[in-house]
Amino acid sequence: MSDDEADPELLALLRQHLQGKRRTNDDEPETGVLDGAEYVYDNSIDVALDMRGCKNAAATIYAQMQEKGYSPAKWSAHELHPKTKDDATVAFIFTMDLLNFSFWSERSSAERFAISYRDQQWTGYWSLVAALQRALDEGIPITDSHFWQDEEECTLDVLKHVFRSCTDEEMPLLEERFACLREAGTVLYQKYECSPVNLIKAAKGSAAALVNLLARDFACFRDEHRFEGRRKPIRLLKRAQIFVADIWACFEGEGCGAFRDIDKITMFADYRLPQVLNIMGCLAYSPPLDVAVRAKRNIASGSNWEMQLRACSIWCVELIRREIVKQHPDAKLNAVLIDFFLYDTIKEIESAGQETIPHHRTRSIWY
């Protein structure tokens, strides 16, 4: 094929977008996340998708996922994640994803916020998980919603103790995390008899319904924002979706994790996934945005730049997923597993000192 001829596979990938959104003919719930992401992509001027990059990434991702045996079982394999599959584990995961946001630091790896636990220092997301495990070991019922409602027992000072750092830097947004616990404790008491398990049961086996319940009842899970030209908000719902995904992965699709529509969950739009997609040649930034990201300038939560970064990442992973399924119709994978893989990939790139661009800087409770 000459350089002047169109790549038929690239054209097919593009047609998947141009031919419209996925339609459903039943009454099954939808989160609206994918539709919103597609709308932002259609109207984005600062973030673009490279279709050839997406196609190449799909081949690489599938091959590496096969090689590494990627499956939901990978979730429980990490030493800090819970190993049991019971109500206490559901409470742990709910607490974890309630507080699963904003761990980045401008300090060096030796100076940034870190948790000392099991003779190791943990940073980033793992600092949260380690802090929760440490608190439970110390007899602090940090995953109990009754505790969150107790204004005498659960105080900001107690939370500071739970998340005490082994460096001079404190956990970011600690007061916001405290507010999330208070709010969630109240909602669980008022609507779900203080039980995250009851919340899951209320979704009746639907991942999309559970995401919608979280966004409806808990303001701190309502990750939706305005974008130019669209009347209704763009729903990104990172933490609501990752709660569903973590439950599904932990329980390996059974029990509390038996969701008939887990494939409706998209990737989890944070600050790491746009970074790895850019490094892999899937996402391209306009010159002003590229300069801002490389200079580590603050990008305001809900701004056009931030919305484009997050929403276009969702749409990018969706196109990668579709390309993999097209090439491998029997592949058993979804956006959740691709997200888990991409997150592990960027952490490996970071550890190897091979980051070619930093992640964007936005400080918020949404991710």
Q: Which residues form the catalytic set?
A: 270
Distance CA 290, CA 274 (A): 12
Q: How far apart are CA 49 and CA 309, in angstroms?
A: 11
**C-alpha to C-alpha distance for 220 and 30, rounded to whole angstroms:** 20
1: exposed, middle or buried (C-beta count within 10 Å: 0-12, 13-18, 19+)?
Answer: exposed
Give the DSSP letter string of 4-51. TS--HHHHHHHHHHHT------S------HHHHHHHHHHT-SSEEE-H
Q: What are phi and psi of 137, to 5 degrees?
A: -60, -30
Orientation angle between helical segments 238-250 and 87-98, nearest 10 degrees:
150
- First vs last C-alpha separation in the chain: 44
Q: Count the Cβ atoms, other than its own, within 10 Å of residue 281.
A: 13
The four Cα atoms 17, 19, 21, 25 give a dihedral, to 10 degrees, of -150
> Cα separation of 346 and 331, whole Å?
23
Q: Which of 24, 29, 94, 97 is nearest to 260 (CA)?
A: 29
Question: Rounded distance, CA 163 to CA 294, Å?
Answer: 30
